[in-house]
A and B are shown apart, each in its own frame.
Chain A
């Protein structure tokens, strides 16, 4: 199908984008467009105005600042894949990136766009949750930080206000004792996962502490499996699988029961990764 008609404006500055956004309640920001334009083509949404933010200078780039990895919103997946900072200091993102879409998608798709779109089956929101990261929202009154746990509100719904723009994401830089794991099951590599799991932990002696398991594709948002986290901190993988407190609904890809089973399969794989030295 073809999109319903809309107007298009290319914003040159963040201020210009915010002014346009404030002036038209049903406007949408166009970043990488790899989810948005697909949705427009299917007429799942029909905004009156698209505000293209791709020409705004300074809205992309990856930096290490005060023990955090800061990724500007327009940074494309392909650029993140080539980044030494990501490889060294954000190993969970590095592990997740090859699973996000395909090469042609990763050349356009942006990290900020994925978070703002908040697809429940997307990899990046789960990574942000697993790492206890935060997003930076910029609005007419300035910038504010929103923790991942407070940011994802529901299906395609975030804590961003209508006049705010997601301008960056920040993750704690990995330390020597950081452990991460990532796995997903998709019918075809690069497709949205039936179920996926992003995880982080800290090595503590022979075991793990501060385990964070963030599942995606199992509900309206990425969710943590806290009972399984507690079991994994006692180094008992099978108890963690048994304790998985997930109740995924059926969807077009699989039944809830299948997803729940696959969540256990992924947990065994990811637990293995967490226990390996980084």
Chain B
């Protein structure tokens, strides 16, 4: 192994993965190109758009601003994992019902960021929802329907209380 090729072993969506990667490969490129997990999207590659949002060791990060080489030993969860586990089923349903997506390009990152907020418990205010999702661009919906969907799920999870 030279220093431009790095061996990494990590857990992705619950499964162990061992690969040799280019040092310069970003996490999101690794997920998409090497593992075929194309749910994490690439928008700007400079941290603005949030389309590549994934979870690393339980916290959301920009997949374009971490190197795959940095993820040796890490636990990575992508939209595929969150979807398969059923963890975000209610968010997915609410997004569909409320037209909180049109082209869908931002949706994986948007739902991953929204779930990060809702995991903290309670019913966040609409301002708090907007603030938490401020790092995720959507160029279709105008955000209103997204905030509606996230708010509805927060209320439903809290048992319908406001």
Report A's interface with B, CB cutoff 8 A: 1-10, 30, 33-34, 37-38, 40-42, 49-50, 52, 54, 78, 98, 101-105, 107-108, 188-191
Contact = CB atoms under 8 A, between A and B. Distances in A.
B26 to A, nearest CB: 7
Interface of B: 2-4, 6, 22-24, 26, 29, 45-48, 50, 53, 59-62, 64-67, 69-70, 72, 113, 116, 131-132, 134-136
A41 B2 contact: no
Given A8-B24, A33-B66, A33-B67, 11 more contacts: A2-B45, A3-B24, A4-B24, A5-B22, A6-B4, A34-B62, A38-B47, A52-B69, A101-B47, A103-B135, A191-B48
Contact of A5 (B24, B69, B131, B136): B24
B70 A52 contact: yes
Contacts of B132: 103
A10 B71 CA distance: 11
Nearest to A37: B65
Nearest to B137: A188
A103 B24 contact: no
Nearest to B29: A2
29 contacts: A2-B26, A2-B29, A5-B4, A5-B24, A7-B23, A9-B3, A10-B69, A30-B67, A33-B67, A33-B70, A34-B47, A37-B47, A37-B67, A38-B45, A41-B26, A41-B45, A41-B46, A41-B64, A78-B59, A98-B131, A101-B135, A102-B50, A102-B134, A102-B136, A103-B116, A104-B53, A104-B113, A105-B62, A190-B134
A198 B131 CA distance: 21
A103 B70 contact: no
A189 B134 contact: yes
Contacts of A30: 67, 70
Contacts of B64: 37-38, 41
Nearest to B3: A7
A211 B37 CA distance: 53
Contacts of B47: 34, 37-38, 101, 105
B113 A8 contact: no
B135 A105 contact: yes
Contacts of A34: 47, 62, 65
B73 to A, nearest CB: 10
B131 A37 contact: no
A5 B25 CA distance: 9
Most interface-central of A98, A102, A105 (chain B CB within 10 A):
A102
Contacts of A4: 24
B17 to A, nearest CB: 18
B88 to A, nearest CB: 16
Contact of A190 (B61, B113, B135): B135
A26 B131 CA distance: 38
Contact of A108 (B3, B29, B66, B69): B66
A104 B67 contact: no
Nearest to A3: B24
Given A41-B26, A103-B113, A8 B65 contact: no
Contacts of B50: 102, 104
A2 B113 contact: no
A10 B136 CA distance: 30
Given A38-B46, A38-B47, A49 B3 contact: yes
The 8 closest A-B pairs by CB, nearest first: A102-B135, A7-B3, A8-B23, A38-B46, A3-B24, A107-B59, A41-B45, A104-B60
A4 B6 CA distance: 16
Contacts of B53: 104
A77 B15 CA distance: 30
Contact of A104 (B3, B23, B46, B135): B135
Contacts of A10: 69, 72
